[in-house]
Amino acid sequence: MVGGGQLARMTHQAAISLGQSLRVLSEKPDDSAALVAADVPIGTHTDLAALREFAKGCDAVTFDHEHVPTEHIEALEAEGVKIFPGSKALVFAQDKGMMRERLAALGAPVPRWARVTTGEEIEAFAGGSWPVVAKATRGGYDGRGVWMVGSREAADDLVSTGISLIVEEKVPLRRELAALVARSPFGQVAAYPVVETVQRDGICVEVVAPAPGLSEERALEAQQLAIDLATSLGVVGLLAVELFETDAGIVVNELAMRPHNSGHWTIEGARTSQFEQHLRAVLDYPMGSTALAAPVVVMANVLGGEPGGISIDERLHHLFATDPGARVHLYGKQIRPGRKIGHVTVLGDDLHEVRARAVRAAKWLQEGV
């Protein structure tokens, strides 16, 4: 797996039970996955020579992020390296302009959008209806690379940075959903229950499975959409389809072709975790069951808090004494305010109780109060 973050760390945990060894290309020896995996070459994902050396002896290569240059992936594929998802699929998760063009061609529900290079073009797209959403075509995540543009002056300022951009209409959404599916080279697919994701400042802070109050018809529509996209794009591995739910239906926001924050709940909350499912897909194993392990599952991200207070270890001690059923995953990352350093998952029967427990546990681990 290229990338040494928490996604690689949790994929490594899943690999162990399958009798597999995960090699991790990590930028630093203290990255999240590098702290726990045994085979950790140090190198960057932008260095083709490092990628070539890393891939030697690997049965398959996959990713914990979308930032490997497309031309590097193509070069490795030409040399016979088995890479999943392949460059022809992954580019639609790497480049938002190409994603929008392809989804529109497939007839998938997408917001009104356009490629832009000038403030004048952004103003024309807005048509007097500000704000509009501007996105960097490559490289954004967790709210980075996304701007709410409310005027021509703001548009001119953004364009002056030289960033390649698309703009989209601001969708009047009820809430955000995510549909997670996995697909093998053989073409088998497995779909997880559709979840509701709660965002704050561009960062996912909470995931509720299954999405509360979502009709069976709408849930099946979202799952079928994700399956159709995985098949049409030729995805091997996981595909996370981030969705806006509106009064009129569902709209595709983003795609990710890797384990995804919206699927962390599956470690305890589904019969097969997303991390094991990704490995099964990449290795062309039959897919595992995606059934829920409890009627309600809630995952809350633990974000880094302000320095001071009692240690994380002491916070864990008190949390486990208070709520023995809360499942905690810490990523071994240096704590910075607002940074994802772990998550908590709670299972149960009552939505309000389970949600309150998960949010309370994550808040306690973050703040210590």
- DSSP category for residue 300: E
Same domain, 192 and 258: yes
Which residues fall within 8 angstroms of residue 77, CB to CB, at 6 or more apart?
Answer: 83, 86, 87
- For range 215-229, the mean pLDDT: 98
Residue 62 in domain: yes
Which tops the pLDDT comparison, 4 or 306? 4
Residue 106 in domain: no
pLDDT at 307 exceeding the cut of 90: no
pLDDT at 163: 94
* Confidence band for 139, pLDDT divided at 50, 70 and 90: confident
Radius of gyration from C-alpha coordinates of the chain: 20
Residue 145 in domain: yes
36 three-state secondary structure: coil
**Residue that has been written with the tokens 């002491």 in this structure:** 314
Cis peptide before 131 (omega within 30 of 0): yes
Same domain, 343 and 198: yes
Residue 105 in domain: no
Q: Which residues of 266-305 are buried (b: 16+ CB within 10 A; e: fewer)?
A: bbbbbebbbbbbbbbbbbeeebbebebeeebbbbbbbbbb
pLDDT (tens digit per residue) in 168-206? 999 999 999 999 999 999 999 999 999 999 999 889 999
Q: Worst-scoring range by mean pLDDT, 35-49, 128-142, 147-161, 275-289?
A: 128-142
pLDDT at 73: 98
pTM above 0.85, yes or no: yes
Same domain, 165 and 178: no
Residue 307 in domain: yes
Specify burial of residue 226 (Cβ count, 10 A radius: 0-12, 13-18, 19+). Answer: buried
Q: Is 127 left (phi over 0), alpha (psi -120 to 50) or beta?
A: left
pLDDT (tens digit per residue) in 288-302? 999 999 999 999 999
- β partners of residue 134: 147, 167
Q: State the average pLDDT for the chain.
A: 96
Percent of the chain with pLDDT over 70: 99
Q: Identity (one letter) of the amino acid at 42?
A: I
pLDDT at 143 exceeding the cut of 70: no
Same domain, 193 and 308: yes
Residue 204 and residue 189 in contact, taking contact as beta carbons nearer than 8 Å? no
6 three-state secondary structure: helix
Q: Which residues participate in the annotated binding site for ATP?
A: 96, 135, 168-171, 176, 253-254
Same domain, 130 and 25: no
Q: Which residues of 155-164 are buried (b: 16+ CB within 10 A; e: fewer)?
A: beebbeeebe
Same domain, 56 and 192: no
Q: Which residues participate in the annotated binding site?
A: 96, 135, 168-171, 176, 253-254
Token representation of residue 175: 């809430």
The gap between the terminal CA atoms of the chain, to the nearest Å, is 37
Residue 164 in domain: yes
pLDDT at 201: 85
Q: Worst-scoring range by mean pLDDT, 20-34, 136-150, 154-168?
A: 136-150
In angstroms, rounded to a whole number, what is the distance separating the alpha carbons of residues 4 and 36?
Answer: 10
Residue 101 in domain: no
Total of domains in the chain: 3
Q: Identity (one letter) of the amino acid at 140?
A: G
Give me the CATH number covering residue 48. Answer: 3.40.50.20
Q: Identify the domain containing residue 159 by its residue range.
A: 112-169
Same domain, 178 and 304: yes
pLDDT at 235: 98
Q: Are strands 189-191 and 237-245 parallel, antiparallel or unpaired?
A: unpaired
